[in-house]
Structure 1
Amino acid sequence: MERVTRSSALPELPARPDVEGNPGFFGPGDKTTGTPASVPGYEWFNMVQEELCNVVTQLGGAPLSGDVYDQVANAILVAISQAVPDSIDWVNVLNKPGSYPPAGHGHAVADVAGLQAALDGKSVTGHGHAVADVAGLQSLLNAIRQPRLLLVLSEGITQISQYNVGGIVYHGPGDYTVNMMGGAVSSENFILLGMTGEVGSSDGGIVCLKDSNSIGGEIGSGAADPTVNSFRVQCLHASTGSRADASRLFLAIFEV
Structure 2
Amino acid sequence: MSLTDKDVKRLNLSMPVANDVKLGEILKALQEATGGDGGEITVAWADVTGKPSTFPPAAHTHTIAQVDDLQTELDSKLESVAWGDVGSKPSTFPPASHTHTIAQVTGLQAALDDLQAEIDALKGDGGGS
* Pairwise TM-score range, normalised by the shorter structure: under 0.3
Structure (1 or 2) with the greater strand fraction: 1
Structure (1 or 2) with the greater helix fraction: 2
In the superposition, the TM-score normalised over structure 1's length comes to 0.14
In the superposition, the TM-score normalised over structure 2's length comes to 0.24
Instruction: Select the structure of larger CA radius of gyration.
Output: 1
